[in-house]
Each structure stands twice: as structure tokens, then as C-alpha cells.
Structure 1
């Protein structure tokens, strides 16, 4: 057993190259607020948890040495980064929805630092993103992320570069689907914003001397927050179900 330890360590490294790269880009796990050391330990823990499932797949490649081992690790890292990026793009739909909701109710100026959106984001968008993470974990959507790592070895063999054209096409389709989902999740507030602004315009035409903006903005905020609170639960559940549906459709 001790004599086989170097082979097991090499096989673990090959598995870690893909699984660790995915974890580094997964939603929630990849937040900049999480220290790099914690993310590294999470990636190692994920790899250790997957060892029992995937060790027979990667073990035959543990005999590789030097350049042969590097030729295996590089494609594994590329596949892991590509998979993690695709999953992250899917998750951005809820951030898009949160930003659109903030725009409709006039909270775009209330911003907070959000590393997930590479800078500052409306505070409501950040809140919706955190709530979506809680709902996804409660509905076990993260299990599908782990399952995607396991199933990826069936579609992308160890040490083989993926077809970049296929990945590029997938990324474009996922980006389009993510944008469409984000807009559909924010649909109640989009309809509200259209109706409210049309009424506001009519009032401004009827009473041009009235300071419509100063009167309507508090009302807009009150109604917008009320509608958001009433629909947020359904929006989050719909997002989690859509995310699960994407994952099941993509890996079935």
C-alpha cells in the first residue's frame, strides 16, 4: 500500500486539476469574499469526496511522468475552468434580475460592493443573489453541480482537450438563456415599472405645474418594495428550478 502512495498522489493531482478548477469558479464557492485558502481547502475537500467515484477513471493515468503528466493536467484544468465558467454564467441570471428590479423601483443609486459582479452592484441585487444562494442550497441544486463534475468525465475523457468550438457555442447559448431568464424573473417589476411610468407621464401632462418626480418617487419606492417582497419567494424558487432544469438537460 505504501509503495502505491506516489501513484495515488498523482491520481489525486489529476482529479484535483479538474475538480479544483470547477470549484474555483462555482457560484458561492468562488466569491472573492471567501479567502483563497478556504477555497483551496474546499477544492481539496471536494476532490477527496469525489475520489471514491472517480479514482478508477483517473488511476490509469497515474503512471505518466514529467511532460506526459503535464500534457494530462493542462487539458484537465482547461475543462474544469470551462465547466465552472458555464455554471457561473447560468447563475448570473439572478443578478440580472436583481439589477432590473432595482432599476424599476429606483434603488440603483443604493450600491454595495459585490465581488460576484466585479465591482459595485445595487444593494437589492446583492440581497437577491444571497437569497438565491440560500434557496439553491436548500433545494439541493448544488448537488447537480457536483454531479456535473462526475458526469463530465464521460463527455470529456482525461487528458483530451475539449472541442473549443462546441464550448464557445455552449457559452453563447448559456449567456442568452441567462439573460432571458433574468428578464423573465424580473417581469412583474418590469410590468409594474411600465404601468407606473405611463401613469406618471399622464399625471405630468394633466398637471404640468406639479412636481411629479418628488411626489411619485417615494410612492414608487413603496409600491416597488411591496411588490418585490410579495413576489421574491416565487422568483427565487423559479430561478432554482430553472437552474436545476438547465443542469439536468445539459448532462442527461
Structure 2
């Protein structure tokens, strides 16, 4: 009547080897790592994803669990997962930086709130744009590519091996570079608007120096900036989600 397999400790060890990498990635993935998602829910998601990966990688995990020292393997898997999740998070920060640039251009940079995801104060508009980008990414199924990258990572980084620090460092540098370039590109319409508007204000101040032009024009700046943001936001979010998808498919070099 004893249905418990004899190698149950080995199976559990192999399962937690897979869980270490999957859970580490989910700790940093956009949307999944938000503080608004309860810790128990994130834990259940990680267990569910590990259960889905188990049929694909159970033989390799069992072999590593049987031959290698478990603590060293778990640490290597955690480091690999954290490195992968950090690359995706760096790329996702592009939309947050774009939102901060837009807030500065239209005069709303002083409207701040605390963002637990970044651990600091961020402009209100930046937080709104980040949340909208997460929704658009989910709607365009970019999160499927995030999850797919976890499965495919076992082909690139076999279980039990140390993460290639040099490769991850190069990937991080490339991700930071592309993230900053994408942020500036997404905020380009508002950057052009800010330059034109402030040049016009400077000329007006030279014509009528006795009038507080910058103080009087601030409501107009906010109104025009918000209108331009509303007109371009859909395109900005779509372009960002498309770029994120290309990044996960290896389109960023």
C-alpha cells in the first residue's frame, strides 16, 4: 500500500533545482514581481511554472541532483535566474524613464509618489505610463515570451553550471544602452514639444520682460502637454511592447 516512491528525496531536490531558477526570474519579471501581487500568489505561480517545466527538464534535474552538491547547484541556479530577470527588468525600465522625461517636459515632474517597484519617488505620470505599458504587454502577449525565455534558458545555460558572468555583463550593458535609447525615442514627441514651447516662451520674455511669462504660461504648458501625451500614448505603448517582444526574440543586438 506504500505508494511513495523510493527516490522521493531525489525528486524533491530536482524539483527545487528547477524552482530556484524559475522563482528567481519571477522575482524580477515585470508585472509578476510587483508588490501589488501577494507573495503567496507569486509563490503559487512559481510552483505552477516549475511544474510545467518539470516534464521537459526532469531527467537533467534528476541527474544533477544525484551527482552534484545541492547547495552549490541551487546557488548557481539562483544567480542565473536573477541575471535573466534583471536583464528583462532593465529593458522594461525604458517606459518608466520615458514617462519621467514626459513629466519633466510638461511640468508635472513635481507630482511625485512612491513606487515600490523602484524603491523611490517617481513622477505620477511615469507610474501611470508604466502601469499602462504592463497592461499593453499583457494584451499583446509579450509576457508569454518572458515565460518562454525561462524554458529556453535551460538550453543555453544547462542546470548545475555557473552562469557566464562575462556574457551576462555584456547583455546588461547592451540592455542599458538600448533601454535609454528607447526611452528617449518614446519621449521624442514631447522632447520636441518642450524645445519649441520653451523657445517660444524665451522669445516672449524678451519681447515683454516685465511680464512673468513662464509663470503665466505654466497652465498652458500642462494643458498642451497632456493633450499631446494623450494623442501619442497609444503609439508609444504599442511601440514599446513591440520592442520588448523583439528583445525577447533576440532582435536587439
TM-score tier by shorter-chain length is over 0.9
Q: Distance in 2 between matches of 1:224 and 1:233?
A: 15
Q: Distance in 1 between matches of 2:252 and 2:124?
A: 34
Residue 35, structure 1, aligned to residue 38, structure 2: yes
| Cα distance change, pair 250–45 in 1 and its aligned pair in 2 (3 A) | farther
Q: Distance in 1 between matches of 2:58 and 2:111?
A: 49
Aligned CA RMSD, in angstroms, stands at 1.7
Give, in angstroms, the shift of residue 64 of structure 1: 4.0
Q: Distance in 2 between matches of 1:111 and 1:53?
A: 46
Structure-1 residue corresponding to 2:25:
22
| Conservation of the 8 A alpha-carbon contact between 1:24 and 1:84 | yes
| Cα distance change, pair 251–144 in 1 and its aligned pair in 2 (3 A) | farther
Q: Distance in 2 between matches of 1:237 and 1:8?
A: 43
Give, in angstroms, the shift of residue 218 of structure 1: 0.5
Count of aligned residue pairs for this structure pair: 250
Q: Distance in 2 between matches of 1:54 and 1:137?
A: 27
Q: Segments of 4+ in structure 1 off by > 3 A?
A: none
Structure-2 residue corresponding to 1:47:
50
Q: Distance in 1 between matches of 2:49 and 2:190?
A: 39
Structure-1 residue corresponding to 2:65:
62
Give the gaps of 5 or more residues in structure 2. none
Give, in angstroms, the shift of residue 215 of structure 1: 1.7
| Conservation of the 8 A alpha-carbon contact between 2:246 and 2:252 | no
| Cα distance change, pair 37–112 in 1 and its aligned pair in 2 (3 A) | same
| Cα distance change, pair 250–72 in 1 and its aligned pair in 2 (3 A) | farther
Q: Distance in 1 between matches of 2:240 and 2:117?
A: 17
The TM-score, its normalising length taken from structure 1, stands at 0.94
Equivalent residue of 1:116, what SS? coil
C-alpha distance after superposition, 1:108-165 (max 9, x if no partner): 1111111122211111000000000000000000011111111111111111112212
C-alpha distance after superposition, 1:57-110 (max 9, x if no partner): 323223247xx1112111111100100111110100000000000000011111
Q: Distance in 2 between matches of 1:116 and 1:110?
A: 18
TM alignment of 1:1-252, pairs within 5 A: 2-3=4-5, 4-64=7-67, 68-249=69-250
| Cα distance change, pair 70–37 in 1 and its aligned pair in 2 (3 A) | same
Give, in angstroms, the shift of residue 43 of structure 1: 1.7
Q: Distance in 1 between matches of 2:224 and 2:76?
A: 52
C-alpha distance after superposition, 1:189-209 (max 9, x if no partner): 000000000001000001111
The TM-score, its normalising length taken from structure 2, stands at 0.94
Q: Distance in 2 between matches of 1:174 and 1:202?
A: 40
C-alpha distance after superposition, 1:37-68 (max 9, x if no partner): 33222222221222233323323223247xx1
Q: Distance in 2 between matches of 1:211 and 1:237?
A: 39
